[in-house]
C-alpha cells in the first residue's frame, strides 16, 4: 500500500517550485521538499499544522526553540513570527513535510458539536508526535490528488475530519480559540488579513483597530498578545521578508526591493534588514546563494 511519505515524495518531485513548496489543488494544503539543509528562514506563519515525514527541522518563536523530525507535527495556532531551519536533508533522503492551514470556520462549526475543553496556555507553537488518526486523514487527502474529479466532492469532509482530530487532541483548546465567534483572535485576524494583503501601503492603526472593532489602545494590546508583535513590527517584518524573497528569487537589488515593499529610504531599509536577518541585504543574499551552491554533508 502506498504510504503518505511516498505520495508526498512523488508530488513534490513533480510540483515543487524553487522554494521547495509544492501546492496542491486542495485549498490550504501544500507539501515541502528540500534536498539540503537550509539557512535561517524568517516568516510570519499562518495558523497551521505541519506533518514532518522525512528529515528534521528546527523552529524558534521568541526565546523558545523546537526541534522536530519524521513522525512529529508542528502546530501553530496564531499569526506569529518564526525562524526556521531545515537541519537534516539530502538528495538521497530529502526533507519532506505536509502542511495544512487551519480554517477558523471549520473549527467554529466543529467546536459547537464537540464537548468543551479547558483553557489552554497561550503559547502558539507546539510540537508533538503525529496522531495516527491525523496521519490517516492526510494520507486519504493526498490519495485524492490522483483523482482530480473527486477532489471537489471528497476533500471538504476530509479536511473537516482532520480538523476534528486536531481538536480532539491534547492541543484542542488552543485550536478551538481560532474559531470562537468574535473572539480577540478572530478580530485581530481580520486586521492581520489587511496587513498581509496591503503591507506595502501606509496603514494607520486607527483603520486597523476599526476593522477589529476595537479602540486603538485595546487593539495594540490584543494584537501583541495574539501575534507577539506590535502592528508596526508585524508590517515591518512582512515587508522585510518579502524584500528578501524579491532579492533571492527574482534577482532584485536592495534599492528596488526596498521601494517595492513600501520603504521610502534605502538607508532605513538596510538598517532594519540587518536587525532582522543579521547582516545587510547585499551580504545576506550573497551568503544565501553561496549556501545554496554548497553540497550537502550527507
Tell me: do 73 and 198 sit in the same domain.
no
5: number of Cβ within 10 Å: 15
- Residue 207, H or E segment: helix 205-212
| 3-state secondary structure at position 99 | strand
Three-state DSSP class for residue 92: coil
Instruction: Clarify whether residues 16 and 160 are in a common domain.
Output: yes
Q: How far is CA 266 from the centre of its chain?
A: 28
Whether residues 174 and 88 fall in one domain: yes
Residues 247 and 211 reside in one and the same domain: no
In a domain, 287, yes or no: yes
Average pLDDT in the chain: 91
- CATH number for the domain spanning 238: value is 1.10.10.60
Does residue 298 form part of some domain? no
Residues 286 and 248 reside in one and the same domain: yes
47 and 143 inside one domain: yes
**What percentage of the chain reaches a pLDDT higher than 90?**
72
For residue range 58-83, what is the model confidence (pLDDT) as tens digits? 999 888 899 999 999 999 988 999 99
Domain span at 217: 182-228
248 close to 18: Cβ distance less than 8 angstroms: no
Q: How is the chain split among helix, strand and coil, in percent rounded to 5? A: 50, 20, 30
* pLDDT at res. 298: 42
CA 30: distance to chain centroid?
A: 11
**For 49, phi and psi rounded to 5 degrees?**
-125, 135
Which three three-digit cell numbers place residue 185? 483572535
> What pLDDT was estimated at residue 113?
84
Q: Which pLDDT band, with edges at 50, 70 and 90, does 43 fall under? A: very high
User: Which phi-psi region, left, alpha or beta, contains residue 20 (left: φ > 0; alpha: ψ -120 to 50)?
Assistant: left
- Decide if 126 is inside a domain: yes
Q: Is 141 contained in some domain?
A: yes
Does residue 125 fall inside a structural domain?
A: yes
Domain match, 19 and 162 both: yes
Cell, residue 45: 506563519
Which residues have C-beta within 8 Å of that of residue 25, sequence separation ≥ 6? Answer: 145, 148, 151
pLDDT tens digits, 8-36: 999 999 999 988 999 999 999 999 999 99
- Spell out where the chain has E strands: 21-23, 29-34, 41-45, 48-54, 56-61, 64-69, 72-76, 80-88, 95-101, 125-129
Whether residue 52 lies inside any domain: the answer is yes
Residue 118 included in any domain: yes
Q: For residues 5 and 69, is the Cβ–Cβ distance under 8 A?
A: no
Q: CA 253, CA 266: separation in Å to the nearest integer?
A: 11
Q: How many CB atoms lie within 10 A of CB 249?
A: 11
In tens, the pLDDT along 138-150 reads 999 999 999 999 9
Give yes or no: residues 188 and 75 share one domain: no
d(CA 92, CA 133): 29
- Same domain for 135 and 198: no
The single residue listed with the C-alpha cell 481538536 is 167
pLDDT band with cut points at 50, 70 and 90 for residue 171: confident
pLDDT beyond 50 at 296 = no
Give dist(CA 158, CA 153) in Å, integer. 10
Of the listed ranges 110-124, 176-190, 222-236, the one predicted with least confidence = 110-124
pLDDT of res. 184: 80
pLDDT at 295 over 60: no
For the chain, what percent of residues have pLDDT higher than 70? Answer: 94
What is the per-residue pLDDT across 183-218, written as a single tens digit (0 to 9) for each?
Answer: 787 889 899 999 999 999 999 999 999 999 999 999
Q: What is the mean pLDDT of residues 112-130?
A: 75
For 140-174, give one letter per residue: b (16+ CB within 10 A) or e. ebbebbeeeeebeebbeebbebbbbbbbbbebbbb
Q: What is the mean pLDDT of residues 131-137?
A: 95
- Answer for the pair 30, 52: CB distance below 8 angstroms, yes or no: no
Question: Do 202 and 271 belong together in one domain?
Answer: no
What pLDDT is attached to residue 165? 94
Same domain for 104 and 172, yes or no, is yes
- Give the count of domains, the chain: 3
153 and 37 housed in the same domain: yes
Amino acid at each position: 500500500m502506498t504510504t503518505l511519505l511516498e505520495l508526498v515524495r512523488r508530488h513534490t518531485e513533480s510540483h515543487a517550485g524553487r522554494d521547495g513548496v509544492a501546492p496542491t489543488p486542495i485549498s490550504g494544503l501544500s507539501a515541502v521538499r528540500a534536498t539540503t539543509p537550509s539557512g535561517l528562514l524568517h516568516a510570519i506563519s499562518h495558523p497551521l499544522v505541519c506533518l514532518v515525514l522525512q528529515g528534521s527541522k528546527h523552529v524558534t518563536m521568541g526565546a523558545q526553540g523546537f526541534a522536530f523530525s519524521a513522525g512529529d507535527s508542528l502546530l501553530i495556532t496564531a499569526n506569529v513570527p518564526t525562524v526556521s531551519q531545515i537541519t537534516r536533508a539530502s538528495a538521497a533522503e530529502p526533507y519532506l513535510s505536509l502542511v495544512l492551514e487551519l480554517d477558523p470556520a471549520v473549527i467554529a462549526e466543529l467546536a459547537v458539536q464537540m464537548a468543551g475543553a479547558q483553557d489552554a496556555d497561550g503559547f502558539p507553537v507546539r510540537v508533538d508526535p503525529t496522531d495516527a488518526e491525523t496521519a490517516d486523514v492526510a494520507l486519504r487527502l493526498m490519495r485524492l490528488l490522483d483523482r482530480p474529479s473527486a477532489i471537489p466532492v471528497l476533500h471538504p469532509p476530509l479536511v473537516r475530519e482532520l480538523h476534528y482530530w486536531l481538536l480532539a487532541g491534547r492541543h484542542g483548546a488552543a485550536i478551538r480559540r481560532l474559531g470562537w465567534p468574535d473572539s480577540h483572535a478572530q478580530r485581530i485576524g481580520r486586521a492581520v488579513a489587511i496587513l498581509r494583503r496591503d503591507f506595502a501601503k501606509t496603514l494607520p492603526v486607527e483603520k486597523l483597530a476599526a476593522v477589529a472593532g476595537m479602540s486603538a489602545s485595546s487593539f495594540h494590546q490584543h494584537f501583541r498578545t495574539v501575534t507577539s508583535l506590535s502592528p508596526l513590527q508585524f508590517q515591518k517584518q512582512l515587508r522585510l521578508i518579502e524584500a528578501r524573497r524579491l532579492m533571492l528569487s527574482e534577482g532584485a537589488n536592495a534599492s528596488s526591493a526596498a521601494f517595492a515593499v513600501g520603504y521610502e529610504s534605502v538607508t532605513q531599509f538596510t538598517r532594519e534588514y540587518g536587525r532582522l536577518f543579521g547582516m545587510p541585504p547585499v551580504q545576506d543574499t550573497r551568503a544565501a546563494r553561496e549556501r545554496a551552491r554548497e553540497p550537502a554533508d550527507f
